[in-house]
Amino acid sequence: MTQLTDLKAIVVDAAGVELTAEEHDLFKAEKPAGFILFKRNCVSKRQVKELVASVRACVGRDDLPVLIDQEGGTVARLKAPEWTEYPAAKTFGALAENSPDAAFKAARENALHMARDLAEMGITVDCAPVVDVPAPDCHEFLAASRTYSDDPEIVGLLGEAVCRGLLAGGVTPVIKHIPGHGRARVDSHLALPVTDVSHSELSTADFKPFAHLARSDMKTALWAMAAHVVYSALDPDSAATVSRRITDNVVRGEIGFQGVLLADDVSMKALGGTLESRIAATMAAGMDLTMLCNAPFEDRVRALAAAPRVTAAAAARIATAEKQRAAQAAATLGQRSGTG
């Protein structure tokens, strides 16, 4: 089996429902550390399972992380009628206003069923939950339905519920967008958001859900996706994905996140410079993995050539998270079959 430290520290995608010959050869030669699915890659359960297996065979790891954005609501790559449609985060936030306990239980059960759908096809990482705390002027791409509440305590509670449900179903959660995207007034897919509030304000609101999860018993089982957002009080010159200061002092330091740290998609317009310089900047900032999505094949070739190999520290975090995911999956399977 290919060693984790022999993989390129990048998550990439594919053009269609099966690998092209060129994609097959590229993945076999360059060995990306992860693969992410989009709607265009998913038409049936059997087809997705076969696509996932083919990517893992190329890379030479049967536990290669396979990711998807399946939040529920508008952000769902798996669509009906082939797959179950799940409610948006906002639904559980509304329930929590009257009954936090009922909302926690509902969010956990919802995530558990979602995870079972994913695990059945070999998908092991879900880019959810969104634990950003939306400010009143947060851009609608996030605030419309993808966030739980503007109360950090409720966000942390429901984020925990979703993480527990996903893990119980054998899927690793990716909490996002660390250290908080909720004050962004522009869509980071299109431009670079700048947040000008004080460090103290960020600590008492935006960071709280992430810190809550970083202190939980799931802390090394989680991944986190970093935000393409500038926080003037933390580093006025760089977005979080390319700021070593934010990674070390805030994400790993103040928040205390110990899991796998994944940069958001480097093809997004929030970042400037060449593709190669973006990848280098995310790695220099201390990201464990970077990510390229929805780019032409030629850009995937460039990105995989530019990406360094997974570091020993990142490999240890990836392996720890995978071990805990697999253990949770086995325990849940045992309970369902009556053997646990």
Number of domains in the chain: 1
Per-residue confidence (pLDDT) for residue 340, from 0 to 100: 45
Among 24, 63, 187, 189, the active-site one is 189
Residue 337: predicted pLDDT: 60
What's the pLDDT at 293?
97
* Residue from 69, 264, 265, 288 carrying the catalytic annotation: 264
Averages of pLDDT over each 10 residues, the chain, 340 residues: 97 98 98 99 98 99 98 96 96 96 98 97 98 93 91 98 98 98 90 95 98 97 98 97 99 99 95 96 99 97 99 99 92 64
181 labelled catalytic: no
What is the domain range of residue 118? 4-337
CATH code of the domain covering residue 145 = 3.20.20.300
Question: Per residue, what are the HEC states of the chain?
Answer: CCCHHHCEEEEECCCCCCCCHHHHHHHHHHCEEEEEECHHHCCCHHHHHHHHHHHHHHHCCCCCCEEECEEECCEECCCCCCCCCCCCHHHHHHHHHHCHHHHHHHHHHHHHHHHHHHHCCCCCEECCCECCCCCCCCCHHHHCCCCCCCCHHHHHHHHHHHHHHHHHCCCEEEEEEECCCCCCCCCCCCCCCEECCCHHHHHHHHCHHHHHHHCCCCCCCCEEEECCCEECCCCCCCEHHHCHHHHHHHHHHHCCCCCEEEECCCCCCCCCCCHHHHHHHHHHCCCCEEECCCCCHHHHHHHHHHCCECCHHHHHHHHHHHHHHHHHHHHHHHHHHCCC
Q: Is 189 a catalytic residue?
A: yes
